[in-house]
Amino acid sequence: MAGTITVNDCAMPWHSGMTVADVLREARFVFPLLVVSLDGRLVPRADYDSVQVPDGSRVDVIHLMSGG
């Protein structure tokens, strides 16, 4: 059954086996300087591919800044 997660305060469709990397890809978050937390816990960059996002969880993707 399709569920929902909250990504940066916005609802996003959830699917079985969804990883942090999937969330970033589906949200089109392509900026390289990101800080990702899953239900308040920091997810290291090296774990984006392996950490699964449970249905109903809250993902915060903090985009830092760059550019002139």
Residues that bind other proteins (CB under 8 A): 8-10, 21, 28-33, 35, 42, 44-46, 48-49, 60-68
Closest distance of CB 4 from other proteins, Å: 16
Q: How far is the CB of 24 from other proteins (least distance, A)?
A: 10
State the burial class of residue 16 (Cβ atoms within 10 Å of its Cβ: 0-12, 13-18, 19+).
exposed
- Alpha carbon distance 23, 29 (integer Å): 8
Torsion of CA 32, 51, 61, 64, to 10 degrees: -30
1 vs 64, beta carbon nearer other proteins: 64
Which of 1, 10 has the CB closer to other proteins? 10
